[in-house]
């Protein structure tokens, strides 16, 4: 049976996931696949309706960089429509014998696209429109089988098409909202050219997933790494619907949790009728983390300890065959290696190390974006406390205490976080921002309080707004509010004498500091 989907070959662009989002927003299923993990034969086997080649930091002419193997002429003989974006366009030209060179003027930001020739890909697009550019290379000579269909002031070849085949390419980014007709262009490719039917309906998701889990698990048991956030709650409820009490939710108290988190979890699980076991592992985590300051090492230690505990717990329960996790698509994308570079290892990604576990993984939300998980949570009628709760990372305060962790720093940070939460709720700001927290820096500075010199830690207030946690902006909150937080924390928390406000968006920064 034909699967009907669009395959996005990801060459490492920060915008690749946006292409996936835009297509899913059209109600069409799409898969984002690293260009390093795919072969022509696998593409042939799955037969997507269309292929999009994403942008990326690579350069087709740089001899020091190994271009992915998938990049060869066979890709264009599959009789599947192809759309190259940015680096994707440069690859197409390179393979067909065109020329790609370093741009004389780097184009980053808005540009005016002028359409020179009408094509199916530009159906409904105005002759002159704004597009979003982000490139340092450009096509300077097109292959003879191609035709230029658009240019900008600084980019003479901004869009092209193959004269006979369904191959299209643009230098700009139609997936970025700043491209005025970006959605139209993507729709033209996915719906008009690839003829991909609308088959991605989130409301069918729960029914289908419950059925599949039931069929897969049968009479065996499942343990679930339960963190109490929306992802693990939705995962738990779906699995519980499928197998009832054969689900064992394990909540690990790492000692790196927010104040009163254990009570919150116990209350909500009772309310939702979820079977939960709370494990006190505070000493274990702290002793393993003592003396470690490298963020990735800390993440790895925390992740490994989680797995060890799950393994021990699974051995206590008869017939456990599966480990469930609330992994979502963004976790997978951000942790995946792009050309050997990756951002950070989100702790619930990477499968189960063979040595540590014989359990099979169940990750029902693995292909969903955060806002899609929220839609499902609404459909499942989860309480507001879960729906509206800001995400809290698996490694917890462990990655919000920069550098080495100790009991004193944990206690300082917990108190500061609790004040922030009280104020956010009191001032009705909590629900209008996506995530807010405090980061404790390993920097001490001099202050003066009650005429006395202090020498204490600096803390950062981090507040962000985001749709999907892949990009984020900083809300413009009032100075009165910021000052109030700062005053309360400095007056009430021993150990902090200076507060700063992080005004960086993502990218270039990430939301968490480690
Ligand atoms: P970053 O820092 O990558 O964060 O911009 C994006 C979102 O992910 C959360 N985050 C994590 N969540 N395990 C998680 O479950 C992790 O290891 C992890 N690291 C970051 C972060 O809080 C933000 O919401």
Nearest CA to ligand 1 atom 7: 469
Nearest CA to ligand 1 atom 9: 393
- pTM for the structure as a whole: 0.76
The pLDDT tens digits of the residues spanning 430-456 come to 999 999 999 999 999 999 998 999 999
Distance between CA 396 and CA 321 in Å, rounded? 27
Distance between CA 512 and CA 514 in Å, rounded? 6
pLDDT at 340: 45
Q: How confident is the model at residue 70 (pLDDT cuts 50, 70, 90)?
A: low
Nearest CA to ligand 1 atom 11: 393
Contact between 242 and 222 (Cβ < 8 Å): no
The pLDDT tens digits of the residues spanning 188-227 come to 999 999 999 998 887 789 999 999 999 999 999 999 989 9
Contact between 338 and 241 (Cβ < 8 Å): no
**Backbone torsions φ then ψ of 463, nearest 5 degrees:** -130, 130
pLDDT at 209: 96
pLDDT at 497: 98
Q: How confident is the model at residue 105 (pLDDT cuts 50, 70, 90)?
A: confident
Q: How confident is the model at residue 178 (pLDDT cuts 50, 70, 90)?
A: confident
Distance between CA 279 and CA 199 in Å, rounded? 42
Task: Name the residue of 225, 327, 346, 435 to mutate for ligand 1: max ligand atoms within 8 A of Cβ.
Answer: 346
Q: How confident is the model at residue 107 (pLDDT cuts 50, 70, 90)?
A: confident
pLDDT at 73: 87
Ligand 1 atom, smallest distance to 466 CA: 24
Ligand 1 atom, smallest distance to 303 CA: 17
Q: How confident is the model at residue 469 (pLDDT cuts 50, 70, 90)?
A: confident
**Is residue 410 within a helix (H) or strand (E), and if so which, with residue range?**
helix 407-426
pLDDT at 359: 85
Using the predicted structure, report yes or no on whether residue 14 has a pLDDT greater than 60. yes
| Residue whose tokens read 């090492």 | 297
pLDDT at 355: 54
Residue 156 C-alpha from the chain's centroid: 34
| Eight-state DSSP code of residue 401 | B
The pLDDT tens digits of the residues spanning 393-406 come to 989 999 999 999 99
Contact between 3 and 27 (Cβ < 8 Å): no
Contact between 230 and 387 (Cβ < 8 Å): yes
Using the predicted structure, report yes or no on whether residue 354 has a pLDDT greater than 80. no
Distance between CA 374 and CA 388 in Å, rounded? 9
Using the predicted structure, report yes or no on whether residue 333 has a pLDDT greater than 80. no
Mean pLDDT, residues 368-373: 86
Distance between CA 183 and CA 129 in Å, rounded? 13
Maximum CA extent, the chain? 80
Mean pLDDT, residues 296-312: 91
Mean pLDDT, residues 108-123: 94
Q: Ligand 1 centroid to 44 CA: how many Å?
A: 35
Q: Ligand 1 centroid to 12 CA: how many Å?
A: 19
Of 86, 120, 112, residue with least CA distance to 16: 86
The pLDDT tens digits of the residues spanning 133-170 come to 988 889 999 999 999 999 999 899 999 999 999 999 99
Indicate which residues carry an active-site annotation. Answer: 86, 173, 175
Task: Name the residue of 251, 434, 469 to mutate for ligand 1: max ligand atoms within 8 A of Cβ.
Answer: 469
Exposure class string for 2-39: b at 16+ Cβ within 10 A, else e? eebbbbbbbbbbbbbbbbbbbbbebebbbbbbbbbebe
Give Cβ neighbours of residue 42 (< 8 Å, ≥ 6 apart). none
Q: Ligand 1 pocket by C-beta < 6 Å: which residues?
A: 334, 344, 346-348, 391, 393-395, 435, 469, 506, 510-512
pLDDT at 339: 46
Its sign, for the CA torsion 74, 79, 80, 86, is positive
Q: How confident is the model at residue 21 (pLDDT cuts 50, 70, 90)?
A: confident
pLDDT at 109: 82
Using the predicted structure, report yes or no on whether residue 12 has a pLDDT greater than 70. yes
Q: Ligand 1 centroid to 512 CA: how many Å?
A: 7
For the chain, how many residues are written? 514
Nearest CA to ligand 1 atom 14: 393
**DSSP string covering 266-328:** HHHHHHHT--EEEEE-HHHHHHHHTT---HHHHHHHHHHHHHHHHHHHHHHSTTEEEEE----
Task: Name the residue of 257, 393, 508 to mutate for ligand 1: max ligand atoms within 8 A of Cβ.
Answer: 393
Contact between 116 and 93 (Cβ < 8 Å): no
In Å, what is the CA distance from 73 to each residue of 3, 32, 76, 94? 25, 21, 6, 10
């Amino acid at each position: 049976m034909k699967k009907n989907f669009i395959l996005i070959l990801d060459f490492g662009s920060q915008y690749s996931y946006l292409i996936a989002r835009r297509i899913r927003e059209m109600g069409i299923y799409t898969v984002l696949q690293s260009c390093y993990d795919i072969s022509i034969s696998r593409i042939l086997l799955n037969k997507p309706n269309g292929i999009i080649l994403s942008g990326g930091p690579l350069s087709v002419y740089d001899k020091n960089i190994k271009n992915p193997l998938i990049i060869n002429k066979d890709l264009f003989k599959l009789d599947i429509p192809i759309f190259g974006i940015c680096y994707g366009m440069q690859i197409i030209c390179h393979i067909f014998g065109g020329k790609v060179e370093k741009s004389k003027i780097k184009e980053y930001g808005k540009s005016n696209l002028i359409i020179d020739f009408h094509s199916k890909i530009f159906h409904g697009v105005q002759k002159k429109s704004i597009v979003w550019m982000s490139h340092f290379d450009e096509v300077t000579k097109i292959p003879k089988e191609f035709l230029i269909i658009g240019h900008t002031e600084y980019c003479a070849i901004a869009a092209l098409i193959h004269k006979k085949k369904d191959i299209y390419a643009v230098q700009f980014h139609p997936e970025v909202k700043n491209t005025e007709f970006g959605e139209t262009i993507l729709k033209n490719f996915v719906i008009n050219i690839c003829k991909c039917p609308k088959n991605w309906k989130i409301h069918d998701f729960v029914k289908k997933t419950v059925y599949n889990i039931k069929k897969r698990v049968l009479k065996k048991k499942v343990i679930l790494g339960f963190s109490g956030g929306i992802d693990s709650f939705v995962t738990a409820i779906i699995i519980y619907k499928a197998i009832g009490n054969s689900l064992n939710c394990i909540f690990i108290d790492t000692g790196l949790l927010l104040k009163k988190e254990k009570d919150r979890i116990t209350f909500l699980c009772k309310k939702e009728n979820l079977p939960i076991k709370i494990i006190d592992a505070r000493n274990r985590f702290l002793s393993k983390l003592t003396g470690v300051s490298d963020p990735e090492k800390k993440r790895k230690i925390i992740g490994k300890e989680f797995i060890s505990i799950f393994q021990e717990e699974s051995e206590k329960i008869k017939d456990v065959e599966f480990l469930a996790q609330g992994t979502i698509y963004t976790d997978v994308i951000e942790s995946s290696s792009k050309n050997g570079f990756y951002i950070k290892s989100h702790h619930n990604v990477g499968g189960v190390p063979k040595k540590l576990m014989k359990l099979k993984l169940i990750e029902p939300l693995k292909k969903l974006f955060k806002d899609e998980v929220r839609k499902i949570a609404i459909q499942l009628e989860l309480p507001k406390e879960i729906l509206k709760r800001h995400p809290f990372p698996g490694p917890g305060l462990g990655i919000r205490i920069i550098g080495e962790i100790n009991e004193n720093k944990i206690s300082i940070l917990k108190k500061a976080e609790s004040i922030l939460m009280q104020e956010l709720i009191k001032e009705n700001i909590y629900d209008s921002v996506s995530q807010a927290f405090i980061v404790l820096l390993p920097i001490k500075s001099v202050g003066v309080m009650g005429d006395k010199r202090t020498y204490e830690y600096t803390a950062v207030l981090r507040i962000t707004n985001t749709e999907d946690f892949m990009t984020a902006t900083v809300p413009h909150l009032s100075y009165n509010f910021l000052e109030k937080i700062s005053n309360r924390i400095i007056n009430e928390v021993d150990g902090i004498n200076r507060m700063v406000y992080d005004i960086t968006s993502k990218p270039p920064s990430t939301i968490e500091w480690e």
